Structure 1
Amino acid sequence: MDNQIEVIIKDETGRIDKVLNDRLAEYSRSQLQQWIKDGHVSIDGKPIKANYKVHNGEKIIITTPEPEVLDLVPENLDLTIVYEDEDVVVVNKPQGMVVHPSAGHPNGTLVNGLLYQIKNLSTINDVVRPGIVHRIDKDTSGLLMVAKNDHAHEVLAKQLKDKTSLRKYIALVHGEIPHEKGRIEAPIGRSKVNRKMQAVTEEGKSAVTHFEVLQRFEGYTLIELQLETGRTHQIRVHMQYIGYPVAGDPLYGPKKTLKGNGQFLHAKLLGFEHPTTGEMMVFEAPLPEIFKKTLKQLKEKD
Structure 2
Amino acid sequence: MPLCVCGAAFFCGGNMRQLSFTVPPNYDGVSVRGFLRGPCGVSSRLLAQCKRVEHGITAAGHQKIATDKLHAGEVITLRLPQEKEKLAVHPNGAPPLSVLYEDDSLIAADKPAGMIIYARAGQLTGTLRDITLDYLQKKGETPSFHPLYRLDRDTTGLVLLAKDRYTACSVPPTIQKTYWAVCEGILHGSGTISAPIGTASGSKTRQQVMQQGRTAVTHWQAVGSAKEHTLVRCVLETGRTHQIRVHMAYIGHPLAGDDFYGGSRKWIPRQALHCGSARFLSPAGGEKTVIAPFPADFRGLLKALDLSADVANLQAFLHSGI
- After TM superposition, give the deviation of residue 299 of structure 1 in Å: 1.1
| Partner of residue 253, structure 1 | 262
Task: Trace 1:6-45 onto structure 2 (pairs within 5 A).
Answer: none
Correspondence 1:263-278 to 2 at 5 A: 263-276=271-284
Pairwise mapping of residues 193-204 of structure 1 onto structure 2 (< 5 A)?
A: 193-204=202-213
Paired amino acid for 2:157? G
- Structure 1 CA distance for aligned equivalents of residues 279 and 229 of structure 2: 28
> What CA distance in whole angstroms lies between the structure 2 residues aligned with 1:274 and 1:301?
33
SS of equivalent to 1:299 = coil
1:299 maps to which of 298, 303, 306: 306
Amino acid at match of 2:252: G
Inter-partner Cα distance in structure 1 for 2:243 and 2:304: 27
Q: Which residue of 1 aligns with 2:114?
A: 96
Contact 2:196/2:215, CA 8 A, preserved across alignment: yes
Among candidates 205, 221, 235, match of residue 214 of structure 2: 205
Q: What stretches of structure 2 of length at least 5 have no aligned partner?
A: 1-85, 310-322
| Cα 1:210/1:148, change in 2 over 3 Å | same
Once the two structures are superposed, what CA deviation does each residue of 1:33-69 show, in whole Å capped at 9, x if it has no partner?
A: xxxxxxxxxxxxxxxxxxxxxxxxxxxxxxxxxxxxx
In structure 1, the partner of 2:295 is 288
Cα distance in 2 for residues equivalent to 1:71 and 1:167: 30
1:229 to 218, 232, 238: 238
Counterpart contact for 1:176–1:220, Cα < 8 Å: yes
Q: Is the 8 A contact 2:224 2:307 kept in 1?
A: no
Structure 1 SS opposite 2:241:
coil
TM-score (norm 1): 0.68
Q: Which runs of 5+ in 1 are unaligned?
A: 1-69, 123-129
Equivalent residues of 2:162, 2:168 under 8 A apart: yes
Is contact 1:72–1:107 with CA below 8 Å preserved after alignment? no
Deviation at 1:72, TM superposition (A): 5.5
One-letter amino acid of the counterpart of residue 101, structure 1: A
209-218 or 76-85, which moves further after superposition?
A: 76-85
1:120 shift after superposition: 3.2
8 Å CA contact 1:121–1:149 kept in 2: the answer is no
Return the match for 2:170 from 143, 147, 155. 155
Amino acid at match of 1:102: R
Equivalences, count: 218
Any idea what SS the aligned residue of 2:131 has? helix
- Residue 71 of structure 1: how far off its partner (Å): 7.4
Match of 2:159 among 140, 144, 148: 144
Distance in structure 1 (CA, Å) of the matches to 2:281 and 2:266? 37
The C-alpha deviation readout for 1:135-183, integer Å capped at 9, x for no partner, is 00000000010000111111123x1xxxx42110110000001x30010
Aligned to 2:142: 120
8 A Cα contact 2:177 2:277, kept in partner: yes
**DSSP 3-state at the match of 1:251:** helix
User: What are the Cα deviations for residues 58-104 of structure 1, in whole angstroms up to 9, with x where unaligned?
Assistant: xxxxxxxxxxxx97614263121011111110000001100111233
Does the Cα contact within 8 Å between 1:190 and 1:198 map onto a contact in 2?
Answer: yes
Once the two structures are TM-superposed, the CA of residue 275 in structure 1 deviates from its matched residue by 2.6
- Alignment-mate amino acid for residue 141 of structure 1: T
2: distance between equivalents of 1:215 and 1:193? 37
Aligned to 1:190: 199
Q: TM-score normalized by structure 2?
A: 0.64
Letter in 2 for 1:275: P
CA-based RMSD: 2.2
Distance 1:111 1:241 in 2: 32
Q: Would you say the 8 A contact 1:74–1:114 is kept in 2?
A: no
- Output the CA distance in 1 between the equivalents of 2:260 and 2:289: 31
Question: Deviation at 1:282?
Answer: 0.7
Output the CA distance in 2 between the equivalents of 1:250 and 1:120.
Answer: 40
Q: Secondary structure at the match of 2:259?
A: coil
Is 1:173 equivalent to 2:183 in the alignment?
A: yes
For 1:120 and 1:166, locate their aligned partners in 2 and report how far apart those are by CA, in whole Å. 28
1:133 matched residue in structure 2? 148
For 2:239 and 2:308, how far apart are their aligned partners in 1? 35
